[in-house]
Structure 1
Amino acid sequence: MTSRVVAGAGVPHVPVFPQLVRDGDQDVAGRYGAVEAVLAAAEPDLLVVVANDHLNAYFLDRLPTFAISLGEAASGPLDAVPSVAAHDVPVDAGSAAALAARLVDAGFDLTLCRDAVLDHSVVVPLHFLNGRHLPVVVLHVNGLVAPLPSARRCHELGCALRQAVSTLPGDRRIAVVASGSFSQDVGGSRVDPGRSWSVPRPDWAEQVAAMLTVGDVDQLVRRATPQMLAEAGSVAGELLSWITVAGAVGRDLAPRVDYRAGEAFAFVAWTKE
């Protein structure tokens, strides 16, 4: 057997969700739990997390389009995640370096980070999905500041990641995880009165969930244009991490999509049928 992607996941990274679950929110806990159960059943030994930083780990003076963490650990959260204390996340530095080399060879010019920090986009998914404390590789995709990478380029990155995984030595079982929303505006002119965020295009979020449900990634890539993402909100570029993961899981894994109408996100697991 060769190393391979055995499962995938996509979840929201809302910073208050860990606190809500701690306070007894069984709905949120159940949705994350269903995704975590799929990942656990696939028995991965490494998680590759694809996420969009919120100008916390990187800022406008040095903003990479794609970046990968290569150190032995990454610390976080460096922003506020209630009920989650700052801690070190173990990174599989050898696998990260090997994947980086293959991705660069495939034409992706990655920023290589030896001293990485993480915000809630990585820490919240790991809080719910990595109870077994598996080592991780963290791949950041710019989903916040224009010019964003195209959806096509992100899908190609995911496909290249799947090929890179197959070259890891040994019989490695890899799960890939995306996080973020499909339509959300934070701190912008479209925020609902009295709130800090809004969902400008719930119809787009519903369409994304529908395309994920039937596995129509090609249509999703075509429709996730810069104009569409801009209409969908100031952080709607987080969808690009999902498109990257969709490329990484390929067509061998089928999606299970949990989406509630009107929400900005979904809980998705990709697994063998």
Structure 2
Amino acid sequence: MARISAGVATSHIPAIGATIDNGKTGEPYWAPVFAGYDWSKQWIAEEKPDVVIIVYNDHASAFDMRIIPTFAIGCADRYGICDEGWGPRPVPEVIGHADLAWHIAQSLILDEFDMTIINEMDVDHGLTVPLSLMFGQPEAWPVKVIPIAVNVVTYPPPSGNRCWQLGEAIARAVASFPEDLNVQVWGTGGMSHQLQGPRAGLINAEWDNRFLDLMSTNDGETLRTIPHIEYLRETGSEGIEMVMWLIMRGALGRMVKPLHRHYHVPASNTAVGHLILRPAESSSSEV
């Protein structure tokens, strides 16, 4: 049967993608950011996941104000790289796993989650930057990807509790798929940042690190009950992206084992946060 072997959380800052694409990762400003992913690259090369479910938010690339799905799942065989205004990133196209994606879509809908099913979609930095951070610059991505897009751009976004519940439902869906697959779930976005207004450039390192602490423990109740207003007040208007991490965390079960943690300020106008977690009951090998 398919199994979820690990969860990854990471920021998906667009400037990180540009830094990788332009060969500037070794510059003094950026080197500490990327150093935090050296362990992760070695780990994932040894883990060799078959499929990664990437939870991300679209940045007005595939969706706009005409249609705003709260939760959307990509069920296509492949996904192109969109032009976000400066040309598509020079990265490989993203290959999907349609059989598993359709299975998850069916399972989630019958589990009473009203998913929007997407059969054609280009993906933006929200999805490609995490792939680059974990896999570098390969000629082809070494995993198949199932995109799950979450609305954290326009009010109202889903609650942390609903995101956690979606993660639990994804875990049930994966566990009922008959093919033997090593599946990871990635939650992307964040951490604290605000891109506009008087608080533009806000970074709350204390709150970010408390959130990383909670993600790394078995205290799901605290995480899933953080209200929208706290994210807004403490982490800025874009800090709400962290609810997407809760989908990954919910998919791992109540108990987790932290494998790796990285936090760095600044990167562009935000902080970089990164975690790798293992379901506590997993018997997979460690690095």
Question: TM-score normalized by structure 1?
Answer: 0.88
What is the SS of the residue equivalent to 1:257? strand
1:232-271 matched pairs, under 5 angstroms: 232-251=235-254, 253-255=256-258, 256-260=260-264, 264-271=271-278
Cα separation, 2, equivalents of 1:215 and 1:182: 20
1:14 and 1:80, CA in 2 relative to 1: closer, same or farther beyond 3 A?
farther
Q: What count of residue pairs does the alignment treat as equivalent?
A: 265
Task: Kindly report the root-mean-square deviation, in angstroms, between the aligned alpha carbons of the 2 structures.
Answer: 2.2
The SS at the match of 1:259 is strand
Residue 160 of structure 1 corresponds to 169
Q: Cα distance 1:267–1:81, how it changes in 2: closer, same or farther (>3 A)?
A: farther
Q: CA deviation at 1:202?
A: 3.3
Q: Which stretch shows the higher mean deviation, 8-17 or 131-140?
A: 131-140
Does the residue aligned with 1:49 lie in a helix, a strand or coil?
Answer: strand
State the 1:83 CA deviation.
Answer: 9.2
Cα deviation code 1:147-167 (max 9, x no counterpart): 111100000000000110011
CA–CA distance in structure 1, aligned partners of residues 219 and 87 of structure 2: 36
Report the CA distance shift for 1:74/1:252 in structure 2 as closer, same or farther (over 3 A): same
The one of 97, 101, 114 equivalent to 2:102 is 97
Task: For 2:189 and 2:97, locate their aligned partners in 1 and report how far apart those are by CA, in whole Å.
Answer: 23
For the Cα contact (< 8 Å) 2:10–2:188, is it kept in 1?
yes
Residue pairs, 1:64-103, within 5 angstroms: 64-79=69-84, 84-85=89-90, 87-103=92-108
State the secondary structure of the residue aligned to 1:264: strand
Asked if the contact 1:5–1:176 (Cα under 8 Å) also holds between the matched residues in 2, the reply is yes
- Consecutive unaligned residues of structure 2, counting only runs of 5 or more, are none
**2: distance between equivalents of 1:190 and 1:62?**
29
1:257 is displaced (CA, Å) by 2.1
1:86: how far off?
5.9
Equivalent residue for 1:26?
31
**1:208–1:81: structure 2 CA closer, same or farther, 3 Å change rule?**
farther
The normalised TM-score by structure 2 is: 0.84
Which sits farther off after the overlay, 92-101 or 212-221?
212-221
Separation (CA, whole Å) in 1 of partners of 2:63 and 2:125? 13
CA distance in structure 1 between the partners assigned to 2:276 and 2:202 by the alignment: 23
Instruction: Tell me which amino acid in the other structure corresponds to 2:228.
Output: P
Pairwise CA distance, 1:261: 6.8
Match of 1:229 in 2: 231
Q: Is the 8 A contact 1:143 1:239 kept in 2?
A: no
SS of alignment partner, residue 186 of structure 1 = coil
Aligned position for 1:147: 156
**Alpha-carbon offset, residue 140 of structure 1:** 0.8
Query: Of 153, 174, 177, which residue of structure 1 is paired with 2:183?
Result: 174
Return closer, same or farther for 1:146/1:161 CA change in 2, 3 Å cut-off. Answer: same
Matched, 1:209 2:222: no
Secondary structure (helix, strand or coil) at the match of 1:53 reads coil
Aligned partner letter, 2:155: A
AA aligned to 2:230 is: M
Instruction: From 220, 223, 242, give the equivalent of 1:220.
Output: 223
Encode CA deviations 1:230-250: one digit per residue, 9 max, x unaligned: 222221121111010001122
Partner of 1:52: 57
Which of 114, 124, 129 in structure 1 is aligned with 2:129? Answer: 124
**1:32-43 alignment runs, 5 A limit:** 32-43=37-48
When structure 1 is superposed on structure 2, of 108-117 and 203-212 the one drifting more is 203-212
Contact 1:78 1:118 in 2 (8 A): no
Q: Is the 8 A contact 2:73 2:146 kept in 1?
A: yes
Q: Name the SS of the counterpart of 1:139 in structure 2.
A: strand
Percent sequence identity over aligned pairs: 26
After superposition, what is the alpha-carbon deviation per residue over 1:155-193, rounded to whole angstroms, capped at 9, x for unaligned? 0000000110011122111011111113110123311xx
**Following TM superposition, by how much is the alpha carbon of 1:39 offset from its aligned partner in structure 2, in angstroms?**
2.8
1:201-226 per-residue CA deviation (whole Å, 9 max, x = no partner) reads 33322221221233423211122x11
Name which of structure 1's ranges 101-110 and 81-90 shifts more when overlaid on structure 2: 81-90
Deviation at 1:7, TM superposition (A): 1.2
The code of the aligned residue for 2:114 comes to D
Gaps of 5+ in 1: 192-197
- 1:33 touches 1:128 (CA, 8 Å); kept in 2? no
